[in-house]
Amino acid sequence: MNSINFSNVSVAVAVDGSDAPKTLLQDVSLDLRERRIGVIGANGSGKSTLLRLVNGLVEPSQGSVVVHGHNTVHDVRKVRANVGFVFTDPLSQLVMPTGREDVELSLRRSIKNRQERASRAESVLERFGILHLADQSIYELSGGERQLLALAAVLAVDPAVLVLDEPSTLLDLRNRELLRRTMSGLEQQVIMSTHDLDLAADMDRVLVVEAGRIVFDGGPSAAVAHYRALCAASLDGPGR
């Protein structure tokens, strides 16, 4: 039950001015059980679509996705209760004026007592080393600081699965290392897309996505080597 299963999944979307839909992901079948799973590939390859299928932000055009026994289309509320999603741009999910308020908002459904909720929010912020940012406006923070607050708000409710879409894009070296250490200590199953191949190397399993297909699925070293070879081949293609 504690696995994420893709069964013959394809995703196609309508394109303005075209009779033919655009295929974003094609014929993906996966059984994801590992604790740390990386997803790498070029921009536009289908990585984000793959991740968004896990919590029902995108629905399959064909096939099905089942997360810990729950179908992402028919049981989407149960899926989202189990899956935390961190977007590349933290401003797309930080909705309150300060980080403290945002973490408390995340806890509102699970902790009814206001004082208990405030105490839990403070401990979450302290765990991430960002308690000193708790009462600053999110618009006064750096992109990396916002990303860490978004991660804290998602993890505050202890989801079983954590999905991160390019989480290190806005992070400087110090905060990138903080993210790396934080993820290594998490109990959650983590699925992360990244262009940071050092982060990908920390994973237990890595998927390489190319043109909407999984073109490699295996250990991190072999996956990174495969991806590098793909990139090199594209540079050496026609006209070069």
Q: Does residue 56 surpass a pLDDT of 70?
A: yes
Domains of the chain and any CATH numbers: 4-93+161-235 (3.40.50.300)
Over the range 197-227, which residues count as b (16 or more CB within 10 Å of their CB) and which as e?
eebbebbebbbbbbebebbbeeebeebbebb
Q: Does residue 34 surpass a pLDDT of 70?
A: yes
Tens digit of each residue's pLDDT (9 = 90 or more) over 120-135: 999 989 988 889 999 9
pLDDT tier at 53, thresholds 50, 70, 90: very high
Average pLDDT of the chain to the nearest whole number = 90
pLDDT tier at 238, thresholds 50, 70, 90: low
Q: What is the pLDDT of residue 183?
A: 80
Determine how β-strand 70-71 pairs with β-strand 213-218. unpaired
Determine how β-strand 70-71 pairs with β-strand 83-86. unpaired
Tens digit of each residue's pLDDT (9 = 90 or more) over 141-153: 887 888 888 989 9
Q: Does residue 208 surpass a pLDDT of 70?
A: yes
Q: What is the pLDDT of residue 237?
A: 64
Least confident interval from 4-18, 20-34, 171-185, 186-200: 171-185
Going by the DSSP 8-state scheme, the letter that residue 136 receives in this structure is S
